[in-house]
């Protein structure tokens, strides 16, 4: 069963991918972080409920990173 956070995550990724000419993993991670950061600033809650970690090229959600790395998500 997909919970509300997963639905929101999928919707955000679909939105960003549709409105960006060259969506990459790094750019997607940064956009998701900005979305969560701004929503948290306004409401005290995140949209996706992801935990972000510092990375050389910016913030990244550890959960999604390992799902992509293990081949569980079809993102290249």
pLDDT in tens, 6-46: 889 889 989 999 999 988 888 989 999 999 999 999 999 99
Say what the pLDDT of residue 56 is: 86
Burial group, residue 3, by CB count within 10 angstroms (0-12, 13-18, 19+): exposed
Q: Is 49 left (phi over 0), alpha (psi -120 to 50) or beta?
A: left
| Distance separating alpha carbons of residues 48 and 39, to the nearest angstrom | 10
pLDDT of residue 7: 87
- Predicted structure pTM score: 0.81
Joined tokens for residue 60: 């990244």
State the DSSP code for 61: E
Q: What is the pLDDT, as a whole number, of residue 3?
A: 79
């Amino acid at each position: 069963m997909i919970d509300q956070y997963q639905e929101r995550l999928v919707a955000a990724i679909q939105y960003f991918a549709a409105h960006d000419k060259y969506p990459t993993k790094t750019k997607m991670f940064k956009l998701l972080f900005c979305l969560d950061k701004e929503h948290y600033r306004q409401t005290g809650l995140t949209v996706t409920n992801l935990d972000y970690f510092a990375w050389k090229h910016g913030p990244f959600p550890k959960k999604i990173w390992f799902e992509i790395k293990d081949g569980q998500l079809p993102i290249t």
